[in-house]
Every structure is written in structure tokens, then in C-alpha cells.
Amino acid sequence: MTGPAEGAAPLKVLIVDDEEPARAILRRHLEALPGVRVAGECGDGFEAVRAATTLSPDVVFLDIEMPKLDGFEVLELLDRSIAPVFVTAYDEHAVRAFEVAAVDYVLKPFAAERIALAVDRARARRAAGASVPTDGLKAAVRPAATPLGRIVVRDGSRVHVIPVDRLDAAEAQDDYVALKAEGRTYLKPQTLTSLAAALDPVRFVRVHRSHLLRLDALARIEPLGAGGHVAVLADGTRIPVSREGYARLKEKLG
């Protein structure tokens, strides 16, 4: 274990776990380590997102199994510069998370040596400027053939939870995806390709390189000169449809 470099600023840690005894044990182990300062602790995912926005921790010890938002959803909403250490009682979750480049994990019941090692690895990852590939992480932990049920989006310190039943359409915008749901638009740092891969292919179709829609939200398809088409949603939104997208639509609609 390397420990902190001489004169280095303390490593700020945020603890997130819905069980108070687990938070207390983690805090005790972490506060015993040199160069570590526990900046705060949270009992649920919404609280964690707010605290991370306010406290700007270097590392978050993040429980996987939590109500409201699970640990993977929380990670999606955190700044990519924050190094995560997953906390879990379930080894299969931890191993999958670790294999897709989560910084580290610790299993319950906690061992002081394992926590110290996780802190060292988090410190090294921070020094290297490495970030976590959250799209790959989500794909690894989602059970096979289980489509996404909801989408979480951060707006400052607020969190919006969008059930996919209410997602009408999505559009690629540079490094973001614009999610259209119930008359509102939410921006999320994600690729349209990764979103499309996570959604139920029976209910959602990519109609254009930059657009996908929910079939239930489609009102009609209109011709648009030179063999083109446009999809019109129930709320009047018009979405361009490529030739490949039109073929996919026809296949889905029978």
C-alpha cells in the first residue's frame, strides 16, 4: 500500500449506504487511514447526488443495493472525475463491476486491509486522471435480455427519473442525448447508440442516425419528397426517418 504522497491534500471521501451501521463501520476504517478525510455520508441515492454536487469528493464508497436509486444509477449521475469504490454484500455484482473498470469494490462484512487497498487504488486512479466507462458498466450489470425500465437524469443537484413508458423519443446531440418525455426535454451525457441498446427493441426503434422513438407514441408516418418520410408523434413532434429507419418501422408495424 502506497499511502498519500508527502504534502498531498487529503483525499475527500463520500460514503453512500442505506444502512447506518455499515456507514459507521466504513467511516471508522476510513478515518483511521492517513491522508483521508470523510467529507460526508448519505443514506440514499438522491441524497448522494446532492452531496456529491456540493462537496466535490475525490472518491465515493457507493453501496450497490439501495432503494430509490441503486449504486449504478447514482454513478451515472456523478461527475466522471469522482473515483467510485463499490460496496456490496453480493460478490457477483462486485466482480462484474470491477471487470468493466470500476475503480474497486469492497465486500461486506468489511475488512480494514481491503478498504485501505481500495483507497490506494482510488488515489492512483485519480492521479492518472482515469474515468469510469458508465455505459459499459451498465451493460455489464444489467441481466441479459432485461431491457431498461427507467432513465435517470441529473439537472444540477436534482434528479429526474423517467420511466421508459413515458419516453416518447430521443435525439443525439453531440456528446448528449435529448430525451423527450411528457412534453419536456432532458439532456443526458450518453450516446444514442448505448441508449438504443438498453431499450426494449420491441417497443423502441431507431428511425434515423440521430433519432429513436417509442412505437406507442407514433401517430402516423408522412411522405417527405424524394422518397423521404417523417414520423409524427401523438403530440405533433415531427422526427426525420431515414430509408433504413423507414424499413425498420415497416417491419415493426407489420
Domains of the chain (ranges; CATH) run 11-141 (3.40.50.2300), 150-253 (2.40.50.1020)
Residues near 147 by Cβ (< 8 Å), separated by ≥ 6? 164, 198, 199, 200, 201, 203
Per-position pLDDT tens, the chain of length 254:
556 655 578 999 999 999 999 999 999 999 999 999 999 999 999 999 999 999 999 999 999 889 889 888 898 899 888 988 999 887 776 676 666 555 688 999 999 999 999 999 988 888 887 777 666 666 666 665 678 899 999 988 789 999 999 999 999 999 999 999 999 999 999 999 999 999 999 999 999 999 999 999 999 999 988 888 999 999 999 999 999 999 999 999 97
**CA-based diameter of the chain, in Å?**
70
Nine-digit cell string for 89: 454484500
Residues near 137 by Cβ (< 8 Å), separated by ≥ 6? 72, 75, 97, 100, 101, 102
